[in-house]
Amino acid sequence: MSTLRSTIDFLLNDWLDATSLNQRERFADHSRETFDAVLDTCERIAREKFAPFNRTVDAQEPHFDGEKVILPQCTYDARLAYAESGMLCAAQDYELGGMQLPYVVEAAANGFFACASVSINTSMLTSANANAILVAGSPLQRLVFAVNEFNGRWAGTMALSEPQAGSSLSDISTRAEADGEGFESDPLGPRYRLRGNKMWISAGEHELTENIAHLVLAKIPDEHGKLVPGVKSISLFIVPKKLVNEEGELTGERNDVALAGLNHKLGWRGTTNTLLNFGEGKYPVRGKAGAIGYLVGQPGEGLKNMFHMMNEARIAIGMAATMLGLAGYYASLEYAKTRTQGRPVGQGGKDASQAPVAIIEHADVKRMLLAQKAYGEGALALNLYCAKLVDEGRTASAEQADRAKLLLEVLTPIAKSWPSEWCLEANSLAIQVHGGYGYTRDFPVEQYWRDNRLNMIHEGTHGIQAADLLGRKVRMLGGAGLKLLAETVNATIQKAMAQESLSAYANQLARALAEVGATTKAAWANENPEEALANAVPYMQAFGHMVLAWMWLDVACGVLEKDTALSDLQNAGRMNATRYFFHYELPKIGAWLRVVKERDLTCAQMPLDAF
Amino acid sequence: MSTLRSTIDFLLNDWLDATSLNQRERFADHSRETFDAVLDTCERIAREKFAPFNRTVDAQEPHFDGEKVILPQCTYDARLAYAESGMLCAAQDYELGGMQLPYVVEAAANGFFACASVSINTSMLTSANANAILVAGSPLQRLVFAVNEFNGRWAGTMALSEPQAGSSLSDISTRAEADGEGFESDPLGPRYRLRGNKMWISAGEHELTENIAHLVLAKIPDEHGKLVPGVKSISLFIVPKKLVNEEGELTGERNDVALAGLNHKLGWRGTTNTLLNFGEGKYPVRGKAGAIGYLVGQPGEGLKNMFHMMNEARIAIGMAATMLGLAGYYASLEYAKTRTQGRPVGQGGKDASQAPVAIIEHADVKRMLLAQKAYGEGALALNLYCAKLVDEGRTASAEQADRAKLLLEVLTPIAKSWPSEWCLEANSLAIQVHGGYGYTRDFPVEQYWRDNRLNMIHEGTHGIQAADLLGRKVRMLGGAGLKLLAETVNATIQKAMAQESLSAYANQLARALAEVGATTKAAWANENPEEALANAVPYMQAFGHMVLAWMWLDVACGVLEKDTALSDLQNAGRMNATRYFFHYELPKIGAWLRVVKERDLTCAQMPLDAF
């Protein structure tokens, strides 16, 4: 029976050959042994400090006592164990206290935590924040903020959205005004006063760490004191909850950042989600309202600087969705093996005098389990593949690195959206396998389903991902990204053609790839974005299924290369999941592509009052 | 803009011509006016006593204080208003205090309550219980139990499942033994002592009514004291919570029925769900452990007697799922019209200097709304169509009645399963339209989604419905049911062929119907249920989409017959929903049918240890 560890081991080592990265200078100290040691540690901490408390953080939702946000003790313990493991800066340079781990190994290792309890750990945000400061910040900002986040002393947030501006960041109205004379010469960076409301800020307030460094998008007004519409007027600021000096010590002053409310969510309740008021005067600084913020990078480059790590952030969401999918798969597999009920359908009908069988014996239960396996393990393959592209983009030779980056651009919307949609479906199947028990809070699967529903929303909704894919990614550089993807898929098709048991699937994938290509052209045939993008989501669904079929075919090739006898049951399982995907899933793309190809405007032209 | 009332009015009157039933003797006193009066009343009570408290019953989950089950006050108020409206026995004979309302009108009127708060009202169970007693009980059982349930004094439950026997009722182990000498001559019915545990009993314990009459499935042991395996040894018993005399008065004695626990559920929290212990001796009766139960009908006919009203019960679940789907549709439609964000995609790109538009202007939001409309209103059409078949089966001429019953048998699995699956998807889209706000408990849509997840599970899971459809319904009487369905669908196709704007859809539906027919044959080609039923669920999904396409085409014909100018925007909306269904949904059946046709055993033959 496959486990998360055995699946990660196979994908990372047998399939992606992650240790080959160790030939590069940056990773030269690493080996299969060091990778395994990291995985061992994370698996253990996840088992001991995360998994037992997943229901606790759901039931004991964060609340505000008027002064502090109260979280259960297990959250402190889990965070501490995580920070102490060094995973907060696993991929960072040695000189920053990191271990120069490849990103693909870091991503895989973090998977154990997400599988154990997706919402208890908010360190992903801290890492993302610190990474953005590393890329765009000044040397002192790196030293004071990034380093203190990587070492676990402080936490970080990403404060982008506002109540009126979620998907549409061009409309943010948080204002940043120069903080008096000499604002430009603050050693921590040009000093501004920020005023505005930020919404959906995960981990925006808590007592888990000594301090919180908010990374805030805001607009510096023009010479008339007005905020310029659009994204090009957006700048990025570090706004610490408590003010610090250039040694990274707390000065003892509270910054003017106030919790305006906690969001009460459907799931993902281990993570506080907040509405923050910046600069409303609740905590005046030096006698004045306005939150002190330090400009990061150049004015007007806020979005670019914040989105530097966007691909990784989206892969991380894809991984979270994937891990929830797998968590449900493992739970329902366990249940199906132990729960007895009913008898197999046979030629002679059901014989009630026979003892009931484990429900995993029923074909429909097997179908629901195999679908979960195909969704979850397939999504994991895709996300690890993308994570490895991140490493390639950073450490491969220039030409190879450019190819990796380009391919990653095209695949990122799928790496984020596909697991969000299909591993949610997997969680629904996990409930269904449990029957009525799955609908109760005595079993974990209903929580996985609730937690997973967030992933189609945050870090760019499904609609945003689809518009990015069809509106930008497959068109950029004259379609070079799509062409590169097609070449890469074709390489797998060629490999698979040589395998008798896979050649039919290779042909099926070739047809799907051609169909996606033709549909892309048809969508843009008259270069009208209104028509082309009217069905961007069905396009992305079809594109995603084609990509996942490619992943499974490539995994199947990997299995056959390693073990042609298929003596290993786990490998037999992978071959069956491939078969499942080609028989049950890939044929779905026709219906999705049809409306895209025809530039169907049934929805787009629906009169508003006809709803 | 359509509302639930306007949609029901259209479907009931313009489409189904419900008033034509009034030509029959049973309904002779009724008219469009009396139907409207019932709808008015239900709409008002739902608005005043149900809708405002939907979140209350979710947040204030039932709990047991050791003696009583505590429910919020609004549950008492809602129940009282419902009982006083006469809806508990709306469809019953005048002599039972009913109003002889057609079932289709009763079902439509009950829709308002489900849309307002699906779980606050448990009267459906009471009606189902009383109806079963009406059909199978003795005259005194009807008078004492059914009448006191219809008039609202007592509540009723259906106690079928046990912890080890949910889908597989043949395995129940609750035992019913004759209660001493003279047990057969109790005026309330042959008197037994029941011992066993019942699981998933909705409304199994509460203080809403003076008494609760449980309808319990149990087995009478054979002459060796053994329980005979299988369903044919199951009998049906009335087990009152408090004992009553033949006048229907409480005797003051508690029966030996004890609450063993409340289930804590994902949703549907307004309804208590219980584990009940029968006869464990907590409340001994006349000094002895064992719950007193009165046999209903003949021994061994328990399932038949309990399942008399199965079609209606399953339509009621379909209606509940439908109403949740529509509730989410209306909520997200309202949100999309008022929430502003972003700008339309245009030839010139997005111009941030323009004011943001209402999000309903975005094509992808329209797509999500139109999908919800097509799912919800389509499901409502199907359920009302089936409800009218119930009336036809009871009151039409013999030949017509037989046809209606046969057609209903084939359609019932779809009426139950299709809304459960697709109106749940609608609720997910309603969350998505809301973005992050939809993930919070400040908006109602996340609750609709949670509540709706139950419907694929209770009253026969998706897997059970699918096995019933492909294993029994399309095969019974030599395929007569399927043939009748095909004839009925063909009648719509012929009507639609005559309409220029619908003829392409008529052809598309004809092909889908033929494909479903051919696939049914192919599934059973070698008469092997293991092969035929391995993909029963995908078969049901395709079958359901074909049925819904038929519904929409028939509705579209209804629109054109009434209003060829389509001047009414609501009718334009219906035509667009039809278009949506044929463009976006019906093409999905190919992928589902493929595995059925090929009797694909990828899932069925998956080795257990390969998962």
Name residues 69-88 of chain A within 8 A of B (Cβ). none
The amino acid that residue A346 corresponds to is G
For the segment A427-436, the average pLDDT, to the nearest whole number, is 98
Q: What is the dihedral of CA A560, A565, A568, A573, to 10 degrees?
A: 50
What tokens appear for A480 in the block? 């070079």
What tokens appear for B232 in the block? 């044919």
Query: Across the A/B interface, how many CB contacts are shorter than 8 Å?
Result: 288
**What does the buried/exposed string (b/e) look like for A55-66 if buried means 16 or more CB atoms within 10 Å of the residue's CB?**
eebbebbbeeee
Q: Which residues of B touch A366 (CB under 8 A)?
A: 603-604, 606
What tokens appear for A86 in the block? 């060094």
Close Cβ partners of B451 (under 8 Å, ≥ 6 residues apart): B118, B119, B267, B268, B324
HSE toward the beta carbon, residue A106, CA cutoff 13 A: 27
CB B447 within 8 A of CB B466: no
| Chain B interface includes A457 (CB < 8 A) | yes
For the segment A301-310, the average pLDDT, to the nearest whole number, is 88
Chain position carrying tokens 């936490």:
A155
Q: How far apart are CA B267 and CA A446, in angstroms?
A: 10
Partner-chain residue, chosen from A350, A534, A570, that has the shortest CB–CB distance to B610: A570
Q: What is the pLDDT of residue A566?
A: 60
The amino acid that residue B346 corresponds to is G
Q: B398-407 long-range CB contacts below 8 Å, 24 or more apart?
A: B403/B484, B406/B477, B406/B480, B406/B481, B406/B484, B407/B481, B407/B484, B407/B485, B407/B488
Partner-chain residue, chosen from A337, A435, A579, that has the shortest CB–CB distance to B461: A435
- pLDDT, tens only, A30-69: 999 999 999 999 999 999 999 999 999 999 999 999 989 9
CA nearest B466 in A: which residue? A364
Q: From residue A264, how far is each of A230, A271, A447, B473 by CA, in Å? A: 31, 11, 15, 45
Hey, is A293 helix, strand or coil? strand
Give the DSSP H/E element, type plus range, for residue A273: strand A273-278
DSSP, residue by residue, B256-293 = SEEEEEE--BSS-TTS-EEEEEESSSSS-BTTB-SEEE
Q: What is the pLDDT of residue B272?
A: 96
Angle (nearest 5°) at CA A501 between A495 and A502: 40
CB A433 within 8 A of CB A175: no
CA nearest B333 in A: which residue? A611
CB A101 within 8 A of CB A91: yes
CB A235 within 8 A of CB A166: no
Closest listed residue to residue B198, CA positions, set B257, B120, B124: B257
Q: How far apart are CA B230 and CA B217, in angstroms?
A: 13
DSSP letter at A585 equals I
Closest listed residue to residue A112, CA positions, set A171, A41, A37: A41
For the segment A339-351, the average pLDDT, to the nearest whole number, is 79
Q: Which residues of B touch A584 (CB under 8 A)?
A: 538, 591, 595, 600, 602
| Chain A interface includes B163 (CB < 8 A) | no
Confidence of residue A563 (pLDDT cuts 50, 70, 90): low
Cross-chain residue pair B587–A607, CB shorter than 8 Å: no
CA–CA min distance B38, chain A (Å): 26
Give the DSSP H/E element, type plus range, for residue B253: strand B250-254
Q: How far apart are CA B81 and CA A269, in angstroms?
A: 37
Q: What is the pLDDT of residue B565?
A: 59
Phi, psi of A369 (to 5 degrees): -75, -40
Q: Give one word for B527, left, alpha or beta, with left for phi > 0 and alpha for psi -120 to 50.
A: left
Q: What is the pLDDT of residue A565?
A: 58
Close Cβ partners of A252 (under 8 Å, ≥ 6 residues apart): A242, A243
Closest listed residue to residue A103, CA positions, set A94, A92, A95: A92
What tokens appear for A249 in the block? 């010590």
Give the DSSP H/E element, type plus range, for residue B215: strand B211-219
CB A181 within 8 A of CB A123: no
DSSP, residue by residue, A485-525 = HHHHHHHHHHHHHTSTTTHHHHHHHHHHHHHHHHHHHHHTT
Q: What is the pLDDT of residue B563?
A: 64
What tokens appear for B427 in the block? 């609720």
Q: How far apart are CA B322 and CA B111, in angstroms?
A: 9
Q: How far apart are CA A45 and CA B362, in angstroms?
A: 45
Q: Which residues of B touch A457 (CB under 8 A)?
A: 431-432, 435-436, 438-439
Closest listed residue to residue A430, CA positions, set B460, B453, B595, B202: B453
Name residues 249-278 of chain A within 8 A of B (Cβ). 263-267
Q: Which residues of A touch B229 (CB under 8 A)?
A: 352-353
For the segment A379-383, the average pLDDT, to the nearest whole number, is 98
Angle (nearest 5°) at CA B444 between B441 and B446: 65
Q: Which residues of A touch B167 (CB under 8 A)?
A: 341-342, 435
| Chain A interface includes B536 (CB < 8 A) | yes
First to last CA, chain B: 49
- pLDDT higher than 80, residue A134: yes
Q: How far apart are CA B546 and CA A363, in angstroms?
A: 24
HSE toward the beta carbon, residue A449, CA cutoff 13 A: 27
Q: Which of B340, B603, B605, B609 is the mutation pick for testing A, counting most A CBs within 10 A? A: B603
Q: How far apart are CA B611 and CA B608, in angstroms?
A: 6
Q: How far apart are CA B178 and CA B343, in angstroms?
A: 74
Q: A297-301 long-range CB contacts below 8 Å, 24 or more apart?
A: A297/A136, A297/A137, A297/A235, A297/A236, A298/A235, A299/A220, A299/A235, A300/A232, A300/A233, A300/A234, A300/A235, A301/A136, A301/A235, A301/A236
Radius of gyration of chain B (CA): 25
- pLDDT higher than 60, residue A347: no
CA nearest B585 in A: which residue? A591
Cross-chain residue pair A583–B573, CB shorter than 8 Å: no
Confidence of residue A386 (pLDDT cuts 50, 70, 90): very high
B198 strand-pairing partners: B276
Q: How far apart are CA B162 and CA B294, in angstroms?
A: 20
CB B566 within 8 A of CB B575: yes
Burial grade of A307 (CB within 10 A; 0-12, 13-18, 19 or more): middle
Partner-chain residue, chosen from B340, B435, B441, that has the shortest CB–CB distance to A457: B435
Q: Helices then strands (H, E): number in chain A?
A: 20, 12
Angle between helices B73-84 and B123-136 (to 10 degrees): 50
The amino acid that residue B485 corresponds to is L
Q: Which of B367, B468, B526, B533 is the mutation pick for testing A, counting most A CBs within 10 A? A: B367
Q: What is the pLDDT of residue A336?
A: 98
What tokens appear for B185 in the block? 């001559």
Phi, psi of A267 (to 5 degrees): -160, -165
Chain position carrying tokens 């629904």:
A428
User: What's chain A's average pLDDT?
Assistant: 96
Residues of chain B with pLDDT under 70: 347-349, 563-566
Hey, is B162 helix, strand or coil? strand
CB B42 within 8 A of CB B81: no
Q: How far apart are CA A174 and CA A196, in angstroms?
A: 4
Q: From residue A525, how far is each of A10, A511, A519, A597, A608 by CA, in Å? A: 43, 20, 9, 9, 27
Cross-chain residue pair A454–B462, CB shorter than 8 Å: no
Q: How far apart are CA A251 and CA A244, in angstroms?
A: 5
Name residues 37-76 of chain B within 8 A of A (Cβ). none
